[in-house]
Structure 1
Amino acid sequence: GTSWVGKPKIESAKNRIHEINPHCQVDLYETRLSSENALDILKSYDVVVDGTDNFPTRYLVNDACVLLNKPNVYGSIFRFEGQATVFNYEGGPNYRDLYPEPPPPGMVPSCAEGGVLGILPGMIGVIQATETIKIVLGEGTTLSGRLLLYNSLDMTFRELKLRPNPVRPVIEKLIDYEQFCGIPQAKAQEAESKMAIPEMTVQDLKQLLDSGADDFVLLDVRNPNEYEIAKIPGSVLVPLPDIEQGSGVAKVKELMNSHRLIAHCKMGGRSAKALGILKENGIEGTNLKGGITAWSQEIDSSVPQY
């Protein structure tokens, strides 16, 4: 993570590791991982294992691994569920292929707010350790290109296929990730404008679909690889990058054909951004609150979450 425990606890952990395996070298960095030091710290290692708990550090670690060409063994947990995969390995996808943009600030509760099953880090950690050993040994098949989803309540494991996004922006340097994952002061006016965009709940959309109404277009602004993983029936894909570049605006106008517009993404952030751009081009629309994640959680559990 970006914060570190006190030096006595670190030294105690280091000593315990040496008791278990005296041949294990432990390097301590009593500093926050940042855009200024990440490349220097990570460049000496063959594999990076990401067990961080916040979005700025995850994007930082991912981008540093891409720039250094290091495999990134990823794991995350929340409440009773966990995820694991291997990013940036042998041409495979990286973190930005799964999550092109961070969720809006406050959208995802922290572990302190939402809680987490205490043994869950052990389960996901063991999977990460296994993947790391396989990479070091060059044996077996890694999770690269596969997102492993673990549900402790059902004691089930599921897999989702991941592929590199051919239109993702090229990572050329490390950036200010706190700013990237928040709302910069310079964009406060833009954020206020997006907040003025009307919203509807997934229950409202379900009622609309059940009524058989055909006077609206359900626009999905996620990336094509996300659309392959999960989709709301009847949705039409026009990725946000296309809308930002202008070509998608014309396509949306053609799709609408005097119909009203409802837009969604994974959790609501990108669709709000898309609707803001469309609004500037004279196209009004409604944002689906919570996106396809809320649809899966509250309406149709058969739609995969990722």
Structure 2
Amino acid sequence: MTEVATSDQLLVVIDPVARRTDGESVRIAKDVLSAGAATKVCLPEGPEEFARVLQRRGSRRPVVIGDDRALVRAVSLLHRQRELAGCALSLVPVGGVLSLARSLGVPTGAVAAARAVLEGAERRLDLMVDESDGVVLGALRIPPLVWGPEDEEDTEAPGALSGAAFGSGHLWVRTCQSLVRTLVTARPARSPSPAAAPGPSRLRVEVDGVTLVDLGQPIDGLSVAPGEPGLAAVEVRPVSVGAEATPLFAEGRRVTVSGADFRYRADAAVSGPVRTRTWTVRKAAWGLTLP
């Protein structure tokens, strides 16, 4: 791990979702960071502004205050700009989706995370990259799990307004929002479509060119997670008939999944449908400040 100098100038990028979700934690983190280093604080209102701020960081070390999705967004931008190798990121986790941050070893308390930014060290981590330049920092799963609270946070309700929309007419806006919520609540719940129910998949899974499972074997699920440095650990769960089926395991640098249209969950987002996708592990491709 590489030591991080506390004298660094910090570019503190505060994700808008974090500001709406937990303004108090954002304030605490900002105060701790400002007390320990020279900081420039930016408040982007959307993805495009987030990208511009990060691109114009200069020599400042970027610190993202936000949840897993904000971290993935920052890594994705730096990857597409081909600037990951020379840029160490820091994260202060704030928001409702923090499982990735926990798995990476980032403290989830605002004070502890901010102190880790100031006093921690850079650790180089592997990255999975697909053929469309998408990135995976942690794990991916196929098929995705049944929708849960984290998925509901991925998309705002139709007509939802950010904090920036509230001005002198905030009472009118709140009245409209209340009406929308009432109408949505009053709608009868639709029965789930049979096609939407999760079920076995028939996919070909290849690891470094060797077929681990083919289309003739239905599977209940597939997971790909970081393994040994430079490798991905692949687990396939075949459909059991009678006795419980034994999972299939493999490790490799390149994982290809193909077959009928499938969706996959990578970190905090669900993507697809696609018919084929290849992920390649890039060893020590990005840096994260950790305690």
Do they superpose with TM above 0.5? no
Length-normalised TM-score, structure 1 = 0.36
Relative to total residues, which structure has the larger strand share, 1 or 2? 2
Length-normalised TM-score, structure 2 = 0.37
Relative to total residues, which structure has the larger helix share, 1 or 2? 1
Higher relative contact order (CA 8 A, sep 6+): 2
